[in-house]
Amino acid sequence: MLADLWHAVPEPLRDPVALAAPFFLIFIAVEALAAYHLEDERPAGHPPAPGGYDRRDALTSISMGAVSVATMTAWKTLGLVGYAVLFAYVAPWQLPADAWWTWALAILGVDFFFYWAHRVAHRVRLVWATHQAHHSSEYFNFSTALRQKWNNSAELVAWLPLPLLGVPPALVFLGFSVSLVYQFFVHTERVGTLWRPVELVFNTPSHHRVHHGSDPIYLDRNYGGILIVWDRLFGSFQPELHRPTYGLTTPVGTYDLVRLQTHEYAAIVRDVRAAPRLRDKLGYVFGPPGWRPDPATAAPARPVARPVPRPEPR
């Protein structure tokens, strides 16, 4: 029955993200209008209200999201080819695409592997370079949810176990789309904490505000997409204690889309070129963001050759 309903939808609209896109823009407009009126009520000189909007920042986020539609389509097409081969020729069994439990398994599996892909993205600098653009905004609102990366290669690798276990490739991408739609709604300061059982199991705006915080206590926490139970199980959960400071620990200071997406790659190249040892070069690529060689083990500086002074004739 699920498969019949799915095939009844016109093919261009089968992606839940495509179906949800107009509603994303409506929610952004409503939230921005509410923030505008709230700002009008604040005395001059006060910091921006929670959930505030900056026009250039919001337009940058929306533009990055528009480009990501094209780049994500390209990556998903590439992934579909690889997944189809694994599903058809390597998987020991093929799960039925029309069974509800296959759909549930696909969504749960995508969420589980998303957690680990997301965690790796924050702990391995090369992967962080693909993800950091999403964290570059110093605002937290619905438009921030659209500030998406243009390189989805790490996620495609993370989901490889699903087609290997017989999950139909189309359902893998359906699970990803469901996750993206869900996560749009946790990018807001307009919602406080929810009913405690919901906060216990699901990723919520409160949990995700922590994830976008650059405060030391909030760094590298709350990686979950739909479920927060993965963070609770694997020791990366942090409750919201105060309003976070949003953005990167070192702001990029630009609205240029290309630079926002690529500046960390350029920084990696500079660090690798300057590193004298192979172990340091590898550390700059595969170590966590901000990694630097231990001064105690760093290669000693090469002595500067100086001419030996000759005694002056007397």
* pLDDT for the residue numbered 8: 44
Establish if 10 belongs to a structural domain. no
185: exposed, middle or buried (Cβ count in 10 Å: 0-12, 13-18, 19+): middle
Q: Quick one: the chain helix, strand, coil %, rounded to 5?
A: 60, 0, 40
User: Could you tell me the residue range of the domain that residue 100 belongs to?
Assistant: 15-261
Establish if 62 belongs to a structural domain. yes
CA distance 31 to 36: 9
- What's the chain's Rg over C-alpha atoms? 23
Establish if 4 belongs to a structural domain. no
Establish if 162 belongs to a structural domain. yes
Establish if 313 belongs to a structural domain. no
* pLDDT for the residue numbered 17: 77
The domain total for the chain is 1
Establish if 111 belongs to a structural domain. yes
Establish if 217 belongs to a structural domain. yes
Establish if 3 belongs to a structural domain. no
pTM summary value: 0.86
| Residues in the chain with pLDDT values less than 50 | 5-6, 8-10, 12-13, 301, 303-314
Per-residue exposure over 103-117, b if at least 16 CB sit within 10 Å of its own CB, e if not: bebbbebbbbbbbeb
* pLDDT for the residue numbered 172: 93
Could you read off the pLDDT of 156-211 as tens digits, one per residue?
999 999 999 999 999 999 999 999 999 999 999 999 999 999 999 999 999 999 99
* Strand residue runs (E) in 43-101: none
Per the CB < 8 A criterion, the answer to whether 162 and 76 are in contact is no
